[in-house]
């Protein structure tokens, strides 16, 4: 719970930094503004916000370097400690929830950082193409995440708040840069 509580402000600040160019905190308006001005993705505030969002998403989804989801050492458990007493269908539902959280954070990350290919109308071909592009973007993100986890070791449990503090500072710098550079 502590990791989630420390990651939440970073997530809010990162989305707030990206929302400055759209003038709205609505995710649809943010994506529309990015589609209207594609160069906005390569600005300093946007890059800092995506970095902060990625670090917070790793922590929120209990991925390396914050947590090792395959561990069974009680001293290093973050995610596994929550599911320790579950078995059978209950464990399957908890694991499904963890997978859905990873999917949602991944979709948020790729659609805010690389918004091209998102369906802007409700027409079936546009939605099908948008879904296909989302699957491709998530596959690329999943490959990058798997590669990152292969070469990264888990950091010590007491260093996790420092990592989340760094992500918060990066998100705060993104908000500050957005305020001064726009």
Question: How far apart (Å, rounded) are the C-alpha atoms in residues 109 and 128?
Answer: 20
The pLDDT value recorded for residue 78 is 64
For residue 77, the model assigns a pLDDT of 63
Please list, in sequence order, all residues whose beta carbon lies within 8 angstroms of the beta carbon of residue 77, skipping any fewer than 6 positions away: 67, 71, 84
Model pLDDT, residue 32: 86
Burial class (CB within 10 angstroms; exposed 0-12, middle 13-18, buried 19+) of 92: exposed
* Predicted pLDDT of residue 49: 95
pLDDT score of 80: 67
169 Ramachandran zone, left/alpha/beta (phi>0; psi -120 to 50): alpha
Distance between alpha carbon 38 and the CA centroid of its chain, in Å?
Answer: 20
110 pLDDT exceeds 90?
yes
Specify the pLDDT at position 129: 96
Can you tell me the distance from the alpha carbon of 179 to that of 17, in angstroms, rounded to the nearest whole number? 8
Phi, psi of 35, rounded to the nearest 5 degrees: -70, -30
Average pLDDT over residues 161-173: 94
Q: Is the dihedral of CA 101, 168, 135, 32 positive or negative?
A: positive
Q: At CA 109, angle to CA 106 and CA 114, rounded to 5?
A: 120
* Most confident segment among 26-30, 65-69, 77-81, 135-139: 135-139
CA distances from residue 86 to 14, 82, 95 in whole angstroms, order as listed? 34, 9, 10
Which residue, among 174, 160, 147, has the nearest Cα to 40 in the 3D structure?
A: 174
Pick the range with the lowest mean pLDDT from 39-43, 73-77, 160-164: 73-77
pTM metric for this prediction? 0.86
Among 55-69, 85-99, 100-114, 157-171, the range scoring the smallest mean pLDDT is: 55-69
Q: Cα(7)–Cα(32) distance, rounded to whole angstroms? A: 26
Quote the strand ranges of 12-125, DSSP E: none
Work out the mean pLDDT of the chain and round it to a whole number: 87
The mean per-residue pLDDT over the stretch 150-172 comes to 88
Considering only CA atoms, which of 181, 176, 171 is closest in space to residue 14? Answer: 171
Among 5-14, 73-82, 124-133, name the one with the lowest average pLDDT. Answer: 73-82
């Amino acid at each position: 719970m502590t990791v989630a509580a420390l990651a939440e402000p970073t997530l809010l600040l990162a989305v707030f930094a990206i929302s400055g160019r759209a003038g709205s905190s609505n995710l649809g308006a943010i994506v529309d503004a990015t589609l209207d001005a594609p160069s906005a993705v390569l600005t300093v505030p946007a890059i800092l916000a995506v970095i902060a969002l990625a670090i917070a998403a790793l922590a929120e989804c209990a991925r390396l370097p914050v947590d090792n989801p395959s561990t069974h050492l009680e001293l290093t458990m973050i995610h596994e400690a929550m599911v320790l007493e579950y078995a059978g269908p209950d464990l399957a539902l908890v694991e499904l929830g963890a997978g859905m959280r990873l999917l949602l954070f991944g979709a948020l990350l790729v659609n805010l950082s690389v918004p091209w290919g998102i369906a802007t109308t409700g027409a079936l071909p546009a939605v099908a193409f948008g879904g296909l592009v989302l699957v491709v973007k998530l596959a690329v993100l999943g490959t990058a995440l798997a590669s990152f986890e292969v070469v990264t070791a888990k950091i010590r449990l007491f260093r996790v708040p420092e990592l989340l503090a760094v992500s918060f500072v990066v998100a705060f710098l993104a908000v500050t840069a957005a305020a001064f550079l726009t």
